[in-house]
Structure 1
Amino acid sequence: MTVNDDSFTTWNHREEIAESMIPIIGKLHRERDVTVLLHSRSLVNKSVVSILKTHRFARQIAGEELSVTETMPFLQALTTLDLGPSQIDIGMLAATYKSDDRGLSIEQFTAEAVAGATGANKIERREGRDVVLYGFGRIGRLVARLLIEKAGSGNGLRLRAIVVRGGGAQDIVKRASLLRRDSIHGQFQGTITVDEENSTILANGNEIKVIYANDPSELDYTAYGIKNAILIDNTGKWRDREGLSQHLRPGIDKVVLTAPGKGDVPNIVHGVNHDTIKPDEQILSCASCTTNAIVPPLKAMDDEYGVLRGHVETVHSFTNDQNLLDNYHKSERRGRSAPLNMVITETGAASAVAKALPDLKARITGSSIRVPVPDVSIAILNLQLAREASREEVLDYLRDVSLTSPLRRQIDFISAPDAVSSDFIGSRHASIVDAGATKVEGDNAILYLWYDNEFGYSCQVIRVVQHVSGVEYPTYPAPAV
């Protein structure tokens, strides 16, 4: 047998193991509301090749590839336990087991590591929470995809309705088509059918009512059987408490804005300050995509090194707020053609840092340039640290943060030397540290942070909604603090 034959045999063996993982992962998700993760990446509804690629990705972070032969025993051990709703990271289980010297079996170690989700400790499956989308643009449709994806267990969040202004003939058909196919994010994973007569979209078994209204005051959501719902406003039309309060109609309990909030509206970056949300808070904001990209790594750097001052320059993909060709716009430069120009514009991300990180004493300034790409942006975070550090030290620290810290769902890490913006389309993290571009000299550190300003941000929105709805289940093994 040749070397190539040996490699192919190994690949086939791993394919076979990954294939056998799929029904186990699916059964845990449907029957017990357990989401199986691998280094913070969900394996639910993933293909054989996707599972193998996710394992291989661990090599970029941890320095060596993680094999399905290593994680499969931990997955099998989970099936023997009396598990309750939770998220369980088999990548972390495998990694921590390697460093454990007590001589425990995999079964014993796994039972101990997830003890908080088993037996008398397990939490009960919670009743699903209704969700309404107000607006159905770029963020609205991606949030819809995520809500539908996460409805597989039958619990958790349930997308019940979408509110839009009427758009004329075949309005619902055209909106469903935009949900079905996306030029950037590809095909919807599943099936979509339209019932025009009843103004309903059926997506993977989820019945979603399309409600036409020009103003929030026209609506009584209880008429559609919606109760105690969380409304996600992705229009950006109202950004202060007075305007957003218009959504607190019959059937709506809380309002979440997918844009920076004004006045006393809390700006929430999941992973950083979501635990400050008061139980009785009815109106909150998820800040901006750029704020979500820079605040987690900024917090990580301040926690370890201290930050005295900083500047963020964002190189941002163009958005629907700009013009396709030169035309009138209320802003100074945004009226110029988005696909033909680099456009200097303002960003409120730097000032928004103070709302999400009130304990940060450093002054952060910011500016932005819109560039001719349709998705994925990069934030260049230039920091003066309170102490000197080496490049290797900072990279090792950020790599560890992306793997084991409470910010591991927000911060990703990549060391690929040829990475470009399109590689990060579909990233579920708030930002991705580019190791190759990172610069550190003395007390100065410059971080290059990629982020999918559409999809990564939408994932952060969903995390906030899960938290305020009470369906954000604990993760095991617990991340290092």
Structure 2
Amino acid sequence: MTVNEDSFTNWKNREEIAESMIPIIGKLHRERDVTVLLHSRSLVNKSVVSILKAHRFARQIAGEELSVTETLPFLQALAALDLGPSQIDIGMLAATYRSDDRGLSVAEFTAEAVAGATGENKIECREGRDVVLYGFGRIGRLVARLLIEKAGSGNGLRLRAIVVRGGGDQDIIKRASLLRRDSIHGQFQGTITVDEANNKIIANGNEIQMIYADDPTAVDYTAYGIKDAILIDNTGKWRDREGLSKHLRPGIAKVVLTAPGKGDVPNVVHGVNHDMIKPDETILSCASCTTNAIVPPLKAMADEYGVRRGHVETVHSFTNDQNLLDNYHKAERRGRSAPLNMVITETGAASAVAKALPDLDAKITGSSIRVPVPDVSIAILSLQLERETTREEVLDYLRNVSLTSPLKRQIDFISAPDAVSSDFIGSRHASIVDAGATKVDGDNAILYLWYDNEFGYSCQVIRVVQYVSGVEYPTYPAPVA
């Protein structure tokens, strides 16, 4: 047998093992609200090839590819336990088991590592939390996809309704079509049907009521059986407490804004300050996509090196706020054609840092250039540090932050020398450190941070909603602080 045939046989064997993992992962998710991860990457609803690629990612951590033959026993051990709702990382289980010298079996080690999610310690499955989307644009549709994807057993977040202004004939059919197919993010993963008679979209079995209203105060959510819901406003029309309070109608308990909040509205960046949300807070903001991209790495750098001052320049994809062709716009320059020009504009991300990182004394300034790409942006974060360091030290530190720290869901790391913006479409991280572009000279560091300003940001929104709704379940083994 040739070497090529040996490689192909090995590939087919790994495919077979990955196939056997899918029903176990699915059953844990549907029946017990357990999300199986592999080095922080979810394996739920993933294909055979996606599972094998996730195992290959382990090279970033251990220096070699993680084999499905090594992780399958941990997955089988989990299936045999009386687990409660949780997130369990079989990649980290395998890694920590390697370094354990007590001679425990995989089953014994797994039971000990996830003890907090079993028996008397486990969290009981809660009743699902209703979610309402107010607006159904770029962010609204991506948040809808994520909510449907994460429906699991039905005991987590449940998308119950979408509120939009009436759009005329076949409105619901057209909106369902926009959810089904997206020019940037591809096909919806599942099935979508429309119940025109009852104004409902049924996506992967989730019945979603379409509500038509021109004003928040015109909606009675209890008439649709909605109660204690979290409303996600992705219109950006109201950004202060007074305006957003209009949403606090019967049936709505909390309002989450997908734009920077004004006044005393808390601006939350998950992973950085989400644990500071007061339990009785009814209105909060997820800040902007750029704020979410720069604040986690800024916090990481401040924690390790200290930051005296900084400047962020964002090279941002164009958005629906701009014009396709030159036309009137209330903002300067944004009236010029978005797909034909680079457009200098402002960003509020730098000033928003103070809300998310109030203990950071450094002054952060910022500006932005809109460029003719439809998605994925890059933030160039230039920092003066409080101590000198080297490029190698900074890269090693940020790589470890992305792999094992509590910020690993926010910060990713890439060393590919030929990476370009389209490579990051669909990234679930708030930002991705580009190792090849990073520059360090003494106490000056320049970080290049890619981010999917649509999907990565939407993932951050969902994480905040999960946290405030009480369905952000603990992860085992626990991340290293």
Q: What TM-score, normalized by structure 1, do the two folds share?
A: 0.99
State whether residues 85 and 122 of structure 2, in contact with CA within 8 Å, keep that contact through their aligned partners in structure 1.
yes
Structure 1 residues 314 and 61: alpha-carbon distance in aligned structure 2, compared to 1, 3 A threshold? farther
Cα distance in structure 1, aligned partners of 2:52 and 2:456 = 22
State whether residues 165 and 213 of structure 2, in contact with CA within 8 Å, keep that contact through their aligned partners in structure 1.
yes
Q: How far has the Cα of 1:99 moved from its partner?
A: 2.2
Structure 2 counterpart of 1:459? 459
Structure 2 counterpart of 1:436? 436
State whether residues 33 and 152 of structure 2, in contact with CA within 8 Å, keep that contact through their aligned partners in structure 1.
no
Structure 2 counterpart of 1:135? 135
Q: How far has the Cα of 1:76 moved from its partner?
A: 1.3
State whether residues 315 and 370 of structure 1, in contact with CA within 8 Å, keep that contact through their aligned partners in structure 2.
yes
Match of 1:443, SS state, is strand
State whether residues 136 and 164 of structure 2, in contact with CA within 8 Å, keep that contact through their aligned partners in structure 1.
yes
After superposition, the C-alpha distances for 1:292-331 in whole angstroms (9 at most, x for unaligned) are 0000011111111111111111110000000000000011
Structure 1 counterpart of 2:302? 302
Q: How far has the Cα of 1:31 moved from its partner?
A: 1.1
Structure 2 counterpart of 1:254? 254
Cα distance in structure 1, aligned partners of 2:197 and 2:458 = 30
Match of 1:256, SS state, is strand
Match of 1:146, SS state, is helix
After superposition, the C-alpha distances for 1:346-395 in whole angstroms (9 at most, x for unaligned) are 00000000000001111111111000000000111111111111111111
Structure 2 counterpart of 1:106? 106
Q: How far has the Cα of 1:273 moved from its partner?
A: 0.4
State whether residues 383 and 444 of structure 2, in contact with CA within 8 Å, keep that contact through their aligned partners in structure 1.
yes
Cα distance in structure 2, aligned partners of 1:465 and 1:177 = 26
Structure 1 residues 62 and 362: alpha-carbon distance in aligned structure 2, compared to 1, 3 A threshold? farther
> What CA RMSD, in Å, does the superposition of the two structures yield over aligned residues?
0.9
Identity %: 90
State whether residues 132 and 230 of structure 1, in contact with CA within 8 Å, keep that contact through their aligned partners in structure 2.
yes
State whether residues 134 and 233 of structure 1, in contact with CA within 8 Å, keep that contact through their aligned partners in structure 2.
yes
Q: How far has the Cα of 1:163 moved from its partner?
A: 0.3
State whether residues 60 and 415 of structure 1, in contact with CA within 8 Å, keep that contact through their aligned partners in structure 2.
no
Cα distance in structure 1, aligned partners of 2:305 and 2:62 = 22
Structure 2 counterpart of 1:324? 324
After superposition, the C-alpha distances for 1:87-128 in whole angstroms (9 at most, x for unaligned) are 001111112222223332222221111111011110100110
After superposition, the C-alpha distances for 1:3-53 in whole angstroms (9 at most, x for unaligned) are 111111111111011000000000111111100001111100100011011
State whether residues 202 and 208 of structure 1, in contact with CA within 8 Å, keep that contact through their aligned partners in structure 2.
yes
Cα distance in structure 2, aligned partners of 1:60 and 1:94 = 15
After superposition, the C-alpha distances for 1:443-478 in whole angstroms (9 at most, x for unaligned) are 111111110000000000000000000111000110
Q: How far has the Cα of 1:251 moved from its partner?
A: 0.5
Match of 2:419, SS state, is coil
State whether residues 61 and 414 of structure 1, in contact with CA within 8 Å, keep that contact through their aligned partners in structure 2.
no
Structure 1 residues 423 and 61: alpha-carbon distance in aligned structure 2, compared to 1, 3 A threshold? farther
Q: How far has the Cα of 1:60 moved from its partner?
A: 3.8
Matches within 5 A, 1:384-423: 384-423=384-423
Most deviating of 227-236 and 378-387: 378-387
Cα distance in structure 2, aligned partners of 1:448 and 1:342 = 19
Cα distance in structure 1, aligned partners of 2:132 and 2:354 = 30
Q: How far has the Cα of 1:424 moved from its partner?
A: 0.5
Most deviating of 64-73 and 268-277: 64-73
After superposition, the C-alpha distances for 1:175-194 in whole angstroms (9 at most, x for unaligned) are 00000000000000000011
Q: What TM-score, normalized by structure 2, do the two folds share?
A: 0.99
Q: How far has the Cα of 1:62 moved from its partner?
A: 4.2
Structure 2 counterpart of 1:292? 292
State whether residues 239 and 262 of structure 2, in contact with CA within 8 Å, keep that contact through their aligned partners in structure 1.
yes
State whether residues 316 and 377 of structure 2, in contact with CA within 8 Å, keep that contact through their aligned partners in structure 1.
yes
Q: How far has the Cα of 1:258 moved from its partner?
A: 0.1
Match of 2:253, SS state, is strand
Cα distance in structure 1, aligned partners of 2:363 and 2:414 = 28
Match of 2:27, SS state, is helix
State whether residues 60 and 414 of structure 1, in contact with CA within 8 Å, keep that contact through their aligned partners in structure 2.
no
Most deviating of 390-399 and 348-357: 390-399
Cα distance in structure 2, aligned partners of 1:76 and 1:274 = 34
State whether residues 254 and 283 of structure 2, in contact with CA within 8 Å, keep that contact through their aligned partners in structure 1.
yes
Cα distance in structure 1, aligned partners of 2:112 and 2:61 = 26
State whether residues 255 and 282 of structure 2, in contact with CA within 8 Å, keep that contact through their aligned partners in structure 1.
yes
Cα distance in structure 1, aligned partners of 2:370 and 2:343 = 5
Match of 1:295, SS state, is helix
State whether residues 61 and 415 of structure 1, in contact with CA within 8 Å, keep that contact through their aligned partners in structure 2.
no
State whether residues 433 and 450 of structure 1, in contact with CA within 8 Å, keep that contact through their aligned partners in structure 2.
yes
Most deviating of 254-263 and 382-391: 382-391
State whether residues 312 and 367 of structure 1, in contact with CA within 8 Å, keep that contact through their aligned partners in structure 2.
yes
Cα distance in structure 2, aligned partners of 1:314 and 1:136 = 26
Cα distance in structure 2, aligned partners of 1:40 and 1:333 = 41
After superposition, the C-alpha distances for 1:232-262 in whole angstroms (9 at most, x for unaligned) are 0000000000000000001000000000000
Structure 1 residues 107 and 395: alpha-carbon distance in aligned structure 2, compared to 1, 3 A threshold? same
Structure 2 counterpart of 1:381? 381
Structure 1 counterpart of 2:60? 60
State whether residues 346 and 368 of structure 1, in contact with CA within 8 Å, keep that contact through their aligned partners in structure 2.
yes
Most deviating of 434-443 and 471-480: 434-443
Structure 1 residues 236 and 467: alpha-carbon distance in aligned structure 2, compared to 1, 3 A threshold? same
State whether residues 60 and 416 of structure 1, in contact with CA within 8 Å, keep that contact through their aligned partners in structure 2.
no
After superposition, the C-alpha distances for 1:321-347 in whole angstroms (9 at most, x for unaligned) are 000000000111000000001111000
Structure 2 counterpart of 1:146? 146
Q: How far has the Cα of 1:64 moved from its partner?
A: 2.1
Cα distance in structure 1, aligned partners of 2:201 and 2:467 = 26
